[in-house]
Structure 1
Amino acid sequence: MASIARRPDGTYRPRYRDADGKEHARHFKRKVDAQRWLDEVTASVVTGTYVDPKAGRVTLSAFYATWAARQVWAPGTELAMGLAVRSATFTDVELRLLRRSHVEYWVKQMTAAGLAPGTVHTRVQNVRAVLRGAVRDRVIATDPSDGVALPRRRRREHAMGIPTPHQVGALLASADERFTTFIAVCAFGGLRLGEAAALQVGDVDFLRRRVVVSRQVQRGPNGTAELRAPKHGSERTVVAPDRLLTLIAGHVERHLTADGPGRWLFPTPTGTPPHQNTVGHQWRKALSAAGLTGLRLHDLRHFFASGLIASGCDVVTVQRALGHASATTTLNTYGHLWPDADDRTRAATDGLMSAALDDPADSLRTGRP
């Protein structure tokens, strides 16, 4: 129900009741302005975009506290979301007063502070998830972060570090003996750090020559190591080469004393799977011993993927080997490594030239037709 009444002082008072029966009203000097406001409210009710004007009187930090409590997140996601919201320069601004300029100023500050473009993108996307949650909860009508310009990131093919076979060989030769097999599992099995850290002896099927990835180690809220399902539900079976299995078997024989398939493949002195900080320390030692810099342990996963692609594996095969949620993820990450139409045309033409030119040359040289 909506109406416009003229008050004794000559102003116009439009009013309406929302879905909860609560009355809202404003005052205008002109009836045309009152009607325009009432029409806008009516349109928002009809289209389902209506928001109670008083609902946005909550700050970003206060809304996040209640919204986050309802989300189902892995510990790493919870930490990242909390960090992003705390870093925002408008946490104490009421959502109804939040403008695009607030977000733009925050982005400018992060960029000026020297944060990497990827970090800026991640933080903005995390805060944007909160703001979109506020839109869905009808706390605000629109997301003020929409359309905010973010710093340009390097093209994936330029930003991605892929170790050479020589570098991987140097790491394997220089790392501590106990850490050598960890490096090999990441380089020749494509496992993420947390997935390799969570491997048990029973996950390695020596008979069928495969490794089962069914869990990962993640850093918990208090910095502790916690076991979780693999990222994005990427449980999978990795086909293992014989030499990798031989390396794992030797590692088990030399370094594991306990019996049973539930033994951790890379246990700490206390018998627990290694924390990412422990792995990071071992990785830095291996890099230093090999005389290498600028490589991350995750780059071994890129090394594995690039090897599969160079060997002619299709997108689905690479997707399954890496445990990506979809082939789209694989293409977005490694699409630049697949040969394009020009490469295939060049290779085909080279084959035609070889067939046409090499054989006659051989005939002239040997004197045989």
Structure 2
Amino acid sequence: MASISRRPDGIWRARYRDQEGREHSRHFGRKVDAQRWLDEVTAAILTGLYADPKAGKVTFASYYQGWSSRQVWVRSTRLSFDRAVETASFRALSIRSIRTSQIEAWVQQQVSDGLAPSTIGVRFQQVRSVFRAAIRDRVIAVDPCIGVRLPRKRRADAAMEIPSTDQVALLLGVRTRFRAFVALCAFAGLRRGEAAGVQVGDIDFLRRTLTVARQLQRADDGQMVAVPPKYGSERVVYLPGSLVEMLADHVARWCPGKDPARWLFSDSGTPWHDNRATYLWRRASSGAGIEGITLHDLRHFYASGLIAAGCDVVTVQRALGHASATTTLNTYAHLWPSAEDRTRAAASGLMATVLGLPADSLRTDETRLRSD
């Protein structure tokens, strides 16, 4: 419902009611301007681009507080979103007034601060999800993040550091109780928080399995708290016999008692916090004479081993606790054999069958020809 009327002072008053029955009005000196405004509003309503002009006055930070309180998030997700919004230079502005140029300035500031492109990308997507929620709520009509360019990420094959088998062997040669922690990351693919959160009862020594049921995170007060793993990361990991034996030796030496809920890695019953694990990692890698390798790189070592052994995408996804196979492919696609590799290997096997020669000899001949 919309109408235009002329007041006694000659000013034209245009008004309409929105979809929720609230009345809105504006005043114009000319009737044609009033009609143009009503036409624009009507078109916005019909095309789904209408936004409540009063709702758009709320600040970005205020809208985020209300929206985030309704989201079903795990604690780590909420903290991540909170950090992203806290860095937004436009958070105190009305959400309707924020322009694309201000989003670009925020991204550029993060680049100048030396943040990794992946970190900037995550923060950008989190902030953008707030704008998209505001569009669904009819608070704003257009997403100001459209067209914003992000810093280019390095290719996964260039950015990923995978320890060599010799490096992992040197790390395991350091005979301390941290040795089992390293082994869990290298041969079970656990994240740091997941390894720190393992309890003795999570290990089935007979079936040689490990149930990843929790991870440790630092709370606001600095204490470590046990929380569920990342979304999709609750899983059962199938352990090699040698790792089971190593864990059994670790339990016998460092985990006295019979309570299945006792921590696999602790100091006097208190589980290791993230700083403790990082300190022990630096000490172990320094003792082994290894530089440039992080604790998380052991997870890449595990994944690369599964792929080299011929495991398919879904198997690797489940072993690593990725939420989807897409995540696995985005991270490790470059490690799988290409179509050319598979074609060449199949042709070598076919030729070896026809000629009655071992396939290895053909591969050796191919290598020799390429080097000549």
Instruction: Tell me, yes or no, whether TM beats 0.5.
Output: yes
- C-alpha separation in 2, matches of 1:36 and 1:164: 69
- C-alpha separation in 2, matches of 1:68 and 1:222: 22
Q: 1:309 aligns with which of 302, 307, 310?
A: 307
- C-alpha separation in 1, matches of 2:319 and 2:276: 26
**Equivalence for 2:364:** none
- C-alpha separation in 2, matches of 1:352 and 1:4: 84
Q: Helix, strand or coil for the counterpart of 2:220?
A: coil
Aligned partners of 1:41 and 1:50 also within 8 Å: yes
Cα deviation per residue 1:83-102 (whole Å; 9 max; x = unaligned)? 21111111221112111111
1:262-341 correspondence runs (5 A): 262-269=261-268, 271-341=269-339
Amino acid at match of 2:259: G
Q: Helix, strand or coil for the counterpart of 2:16?
A: strand
* Deviation of 1:12 (Å): 4.0
Aligned partners of 1:186 and 1:301 also within 8 Å: yes
Cα deviation per residue 1:229-250 (whole Å; 9 max; x = unaligned)? 1110321111111100010011
**Equivalence for 2:254:** 255
Cα deviation per residue 1:270-327 (whole Å; 9 max; x = unaligned)? x122111111111111111111122121111111111011000111111111112222
* Deviation of 1:31 (Å): 4.2
**Equivalence for 1:222:** 221
Relative to structure 1, the CA distance from residue 15 to residue 197 in structure 2 (aligned partners, 3 Å threshold; closer, same or farther) is: same
1:14-33 correspondence runs (5 A): 14-33=14-33
Q: CA RMSD in A?
A: 2.1
* Deviation of 1:33 (Å): 3.8
1:70-89 correspondence runs (5 A): 70-89=70-89
Q: Helix, strand or coil for the counterpart of 2:58?
A: coil
User: Are 1:129 and 2:129 an aligned pair?
Assistant: yes
1:201-240 correspondence runs (5 A): 201-240=200-239
* Deviation of 1:156 (Å): 1.5
Amino acid at match of 1:120: I
Q: Helix, strand or coil for the counterpart of 1:95?
A: coil
Q: Helix, strand or coil for the counterpart of 1:284?
A: helix
- C-alpha separation in 2, matches of 1:139 and 1:224: 39
* Deviation of 1:70 (Å): 2.5
Q: Helix, strand or coil for the counterpart of 2:267?
A: coil
Amino acid at match of 1:2: A
Structure 1 range deviating more: 21-30 or 84-93: 21-30
User: Are 1:197 and 2:186 an aligned pair?
Assistant: no
Q: Helix, strand or coil for the counterpart of 2:231?
A: helix
- C-alpha separation in 1, matches of 2:32 and 2:280: 73
* Deviation of 1:8 (Å): 5.8
- C-alpha separation in 2, matches of 1:27 and 1:44: 19
- C-alpha separation in 2, matches of 1:306 and 1:123: 29
Aligned partners of 1:75 and 1:218 also within 8 Å: no
Amino acid at match of 2:159: A
Cα deviation per residue 1:186-231 (whole Å; 9 max; x = unaligned)? 1101111111111111111111111111111122223321111111
Cα deviation per residue 1:36-90 (whole Å; 9 max; x = unaligned)? 3212212333344422111111212222233333333333222222221111111
Aligned partners of 1:79 and 1:221 also within 8 Å: no
- C-alpha separation in 2, matches of 1:163 and 1:81: 32
**Equivalence for 2:187:** 188
Show structure 1 runs of 5+ residues with no match: 363-369
**Equivalence for 2:162:** 162
Q: Helix, strand or coil for the counterpart of 1:149?
A: coil
Aligned partners of 1:76 and 1:219 also within 8 Å: no
- C-alpha separation in 1, matches of 2:38 and 2:68: 35
Q: Helix, strand or coil for the counterpart of 2:323?
A: coil
1:82-161 correspondence runs (5 A): 82-161=82-161
Residue correspondences, number: 359
* Deviation of 1:259 (Å): 1.8
Percentage of identical aligned residues: 58
* Deviation of 1:141 (Å): 1.8
**Equivalence for 2:343:** 345
Q: Helix, strand or coil for the counterpart of 1:177?
A: coil
* Deviation of 1:29 (Å): 4.8
Amino acid at match of 2:288: A
Amino acid at match of 1:234: S
Q: Helix, strand or coil for the counterpart of 1:56?
A: helix
